[in-house]
Amino acid sequence: MFNYPLSSLLTVIFTWAAVALSSLFDTSRLGINYIEYAMHGVVLLLTLLVINESTYFGYKIRYYFLTLLASTIFSLMFVSPLAIALIYSVMFCSIFAFYAPVTLCYIYILFIHGLFLVCHALYWQTGWQWSHAGMFMAFHFFALVMTQRMISERSAKEALALTNAKLEATQQLLGSAAAQNERLRLARDLHDEMGHSLTSLIINLDIARRTCSDEQKTQIQACYEQAKQALGTTRIIVSDNRDDIGFDLVTCLIQLAKQTPRLVVNIDITQTIDHVPIDISQCILKCTQEAITNTLKHAPTASEINIALHRNNSDLLLTITDNGQVKGHINFGNGLTGMQERVTQVKGRLSIDKTIQGLKITIRVPYE
């Protein structure tokens, strides 16, 4: 239910303690303001709920927590004349950057400092605190820039990890295709060279056994039977090599899931699925890779993706769902268009639907 990186947890607690304890135990105060005490506790509680990395709380709930946290910080300006609300706001700004576009973060910075100036000038009657506002605005911008840089570095690492996973899957696919091509080449050579030579040998031995003397017939008959057996064995080898050995799709999907960054990828394959043809394997693998890429790129709130592959009569049914919230209509860009083209090429069907949790992609391809 709760999952915190140690560095983030310690940073939040130490920052809160430095602000709250110094404010609460200020000896210059005449009395105890229990409302302020409670608001400090609410700030800590909401901050811990927002930075929780567990998937127990969805991102929709996290936005409610963020709204409550911002409201508490705004209210704190009217409870204490100190600048403690702006210190909390710096911490909030670095968290808010993970959930909102950078433009909205800049709007928040301008709003919170405008509210601070108006509050002190009109409510606390302490004048326009331009120096404090300028100093804390610089802190806000610094926190925002550093957070944006960290987000960019994380995105770059995710893209690199996903690219490496794709390359490994593609390498495995190409290896299987190369092995299949080599088997086909060997099958053709055996059929064209050994098959024809053995057929010619059998014909000559058949003629020889019909025209030879009784003393030689037994030996020639044995050679004739051995040649027929050798031809039969050659035909079996040729047929086996011509058969599509397929591709270990299941193992490749599991490996892709393990190497996917940030997202928790759940694989559900309840039936034995093996010897999948190369073209079908390529379609399913590439579509799965594209779905994961789209989730990482276009659904930053997504934390989980589920991949289910089942055999349904003479079809393979691939279902991919995530928990990233989808707003508006689904636009077919290059990625989704490429998926549609791949599925159509193997005579399959693709459907994309919005769900309460996120996006659902269903692919059905033939599998005999």
* Contact partners, residue 128, CB within 8 Å, separation at least 6: 117, 120, 121
Quick: pLDDT tens for 276-305.
888 888 899 889 989 988 888 887 778 889
Structure tokens at 361: 């992609």
- Decide if 85 contacts 69 (C-beta within 8 A): no
Q: Given a cut of 70, is residue 340 above it in pLDDT?
A: yes
- pLDDT classification of 129: cutoffs 50, 70, 90: very high
SS3 content of the chain, % helix, strand, coil (to 5): 65, 10, 25
Quick: pLDDT tens for 133-179.
999 999 999 999 999 998 888 888 888 888 887 777 777 777 766 66
Burial 135-160 (b: 16+ CB within 10 A, else e): ebbeebeebbeebeeeeeeeeeebee
Q: What percent of the chain has pLDDT over 90?
A: 33
Quick: pLDDT tens for 8-35.
888 889 988 888 887 777 656 555 678 8
Q: pTM, whole model, 2 decimals?
A: 0.67
Partners of 326 in beta bridges: none
Of 320, 318, 319, 317, nearest in space to 295 by CA: 320
CATH number at 246-366: 3.30.565.10
CB atoms within 10 A of CB 318: 24
Structure tokens at 367: 């599998």
Q: In this predicted model, which residue has the larger pLDDT, 333 or 126?
A: 126
Instruction: Read off the pLDDT of each residue in 122-130 and give the average, rounded to a whole number.
Output: 92
